[in-house]
Protein backbone atom coordinates (compact mmCIF):
# COMPACT_ATOMS: atom_id res chain seq x y z
CA UNK A 1 0.00 0.00 0.00
CA UNK A 2 0.93 3.65 -0.34
CA UNK A 3 3.25 4.98 2.38
CA UNK A 4 3.60 8.51 3.67
CA UNK A 5 6.39 9.46 6.04
CA UNK A 6 6.89 12.48 8.25
CA UNK A 7 10.04 13.85 9.79
CA UNK A 8 10.66 14.48 12.58
CA UNK A 9 8.23 12.32 14.54
CA UNK A 10 8.57 14.63 17.51
CA UNK A 11 10.32 17.92 18.18
CA UNK A 12 10.76 20.24 21.13
CA UNK A 13 11.69 23.84 20.42
CA UNK A 14 11.94 27.12 22.26
CA UNK A 15 9.39 29.87 21.87
CA UNK A 16 10.28 32.22 19.01
CA UNK A 17 12.16 29.67 16.92
CA UNK A 18 11.00 28.06 13.67
CA UNK A 19 10.41 24.38 13.03
CA UNK A 20 10.21 22.57 9.69
CA UNK A 21 8.22 19.36 9.27
CA UNK A 22 8.63 17.21 6.16
CA UNK A 23 5.99 15.03 4.57
CA UNK A 24 7.05 12.53 1.91
CA UNK A 25 5.12 10.08 -0.24
CA UNK A 26 7.53 7.16 -0.47
CA UNK A 27 6.13 5.00 -3.24
CA UNK A 28 3.76 7.20 -5.19
CA UNK A 29 3.48 10.70 -6.58
CA UNK A 30 1.17 12.97 -4.67
CA UNK A 31 -0.27 15.88 -6.59
CA UNK A 32 -2.10 17.03 -3.48
CA UNK A 33 -1.07 16.92 0.17
CA UNK A 34 -3.02 18.06 3.18
CA UNK A 35 -1.78 19.40 6.50
CA UNK A 36 -3.84 18.80 9.62
CA UNK A 37 -3.47 19.82 13.24
CA UNK A 38 -4.96 17.92 16.13
CA UNK A 39 -5.20 19.14 19.70
CA UNK A 40 -5.68 16.63 22.52
CA UNK A 41 -9.10 14.97 22.57
CA UNK A 42 -10.17 16.81 19.42
CA UNK A 43 -10.59 15.74 15.83
CA UNK A 44 -8.33 16.64 12.97
CA UNK A 45 -8.49 20.21 11.78
CA UNK A 46 -7.49 20.87 8.19
CA UNK A 47 -4.94 23.67 8.00
CA UNK A 48 -4.16 23.82 4.31
CA UNK A 49 -4.21 22.01 1.00
CA UNK A 50 -0.93 21.86 -0.84
CA UNK A 51 -0.64 21.29 -4.59
CA UNK A 52 2.70 20.65 -6.24
CA UNK A 53 4.11 23.71 -7.90
CA UNK A 54 1.49 26.15 -6.67
CA UNK A 55 0.66 28.12 -3.56
CA UNK A 56 -1.07 26.33 -0.74
CA UNK A 57 -4.73 27.00 0.01
CA UNK A 58 -5.20 27.82 3.67
CA UNK A 59 -8.35 27.22 5.68
CA UNK A 60 -10.07 30.15 7.33
CA UNK A 61 -8.35 31.20 10.52
CA UNK A 62 -4.97 29.69 9.63
CA UNK A 63 -2.21 32.28 9.29
CA UNK A 64 -0.34 31.64 6.06
CA UNK A 65 2.61 33.79 7.16
CA UNK A 66 3.00 31.71 10.29
CA UNK A 67 2.52 28.28 8.76
CA UNK A 68 4.60 28.24 5.59
CA UNK A 69 3.90 25.40 3.22
CA UNK A 70 6.11 24.43 0.31
CA UNK A 71 5.20 21.61 -2.06
CA UNK A 72 8.34 21.59 -4.15
CA UNK A 73 7.98 18.16 -5.73
CA UNK A 74 5.44 15.42 -6.26
CA UNK A 75 6.82 13.52 -3.27
CA UNK A 76 7.64 16.24 -0.74
CA UNK A 77 5.72 18.93 1.11
CA UNK A 78 7.08 20.90 4.06
CA UNK A 79 5.33 22.82 6.81
CA UNK A 80 7.35 25.45 8.64
CA UNK A 81 5.97 26.82 11.88
CA UNK A 82 7.56 30.25 12.19
CA UNK A 83 8.12 32.06 15.47
CA UNK A 84 6.54 29.19 17.35
CA UNK A 85 4.65 29.80 20.58
CA UNK A 86 3.44 27.36 23.25
CA UNK A 87 -0.09 27.49 21.81
CA UNK A 88 1.31 26.01 18.58
CA UNK A 89 2.13 22.82 20.48
CA UNK A 90 0.06 20.16 18.77
CA UNK A 91 0.07 16.99 16.71
CA UNK A 92 0.65 17.82 13.04
CA UNK A 93 -0.39 15.23 10.48
CA UNK A 94 0.01 15.28 6.72
CA UNK A 95 -1.83 13.21 4.18
CA UNK A 96 -1.41 12.69 0.46
CA UNK A 97 -3.69 11.75 -2.38
CA UNK A 98 -2.36 9.02 -4.64
CA UNK A 99 -4.72 9.67 -7.50
CA UNK A 100 -7.37 12.29 -8.12
CA UNK A 101 -9.87 11.04 -5.57
CA UNK A 102 -9.82 12.13 -1.95
CA UNK A 103 -10.88 8.57 -1.13
CA UNK A 104 -7.31 7.54 -1.90
CA UNK A 105 -5.91 9.55 0.97
CA UNK A 106 -2.98 8.21 2.94
CA UNK A 107 -1.83 9.65 6.25
CA UNK A 108 1.65 10.19 7.59
CA UNK A 109 2.44 9.06 11.14
CA UNK A 110 2.26 12.59 12.53
CA UNK A 111 4.70 14.98 14.22
CA UNK A 112 4.36 15.94 17.86
CA UNK A 113 5.49 19.55 18.34
CA UNK A 114 6.09 20.92 21.81
CA UNK A 115 7.02 24.58 22.17
CA UNK A 116 8.51 25.55 25.53
Partner 1 sequence: GQNIDQPTEMTATEGAIVQINCTYQTSGFNGLFWYQQHAGEAPTFLSYNVLDGLEEKGRFSSFLSRSKGYSYLLLKELQMKDSASYLCAVVNSNYQLIWGAGTKLIIKP
Residue in 90, 99, 108 with CA at minimum distance from that of residue 43 = 90
Q: Alpha-carbon distance 38 to 47, whole Å?
A: 10
Task: Rounding to the nearest 10 degrees, give the CA dihedral for residues 6, 39, 60, 48.
Answer: 10
Instruction: Count CA atoms closer than 13 A to 52's CA, side-chain side.
Output: 14
Q: Which of these segments, 16-24, 63-71, 77-85, 95-103, binds partner 1 (CB under 8 A)? A: 95-103
Task: Give whichever of 61 and 65 is closer to partner 1, judged by the CB atom.
Answer: 61
Find the binding residues for partner 1 in span 8-47 (CB under 8 A).
34, 41-46
Q: Does 79 bind partner 1 (CB under 8 A)?
A: no
SS3 for 28?
coil
Q: Does 103 bind partner 1 (CB under 8 A)?
A: yes
First to last CA, the chain: 37
Q: Does 96 bind partner 1 (CB under 8 A)?
A: no
Site string for partner 1, 45-64 (x = CB under 8 A): xx------------------
- Residues near partner 1, by CB under 8 A: 34, 41-46, 91, 93, 101-103, 105, 107-110, 112
Amino acid sequence: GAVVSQHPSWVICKSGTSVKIECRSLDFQATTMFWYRQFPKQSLMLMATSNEGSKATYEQGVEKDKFLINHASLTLSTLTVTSAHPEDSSFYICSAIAGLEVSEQYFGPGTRLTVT
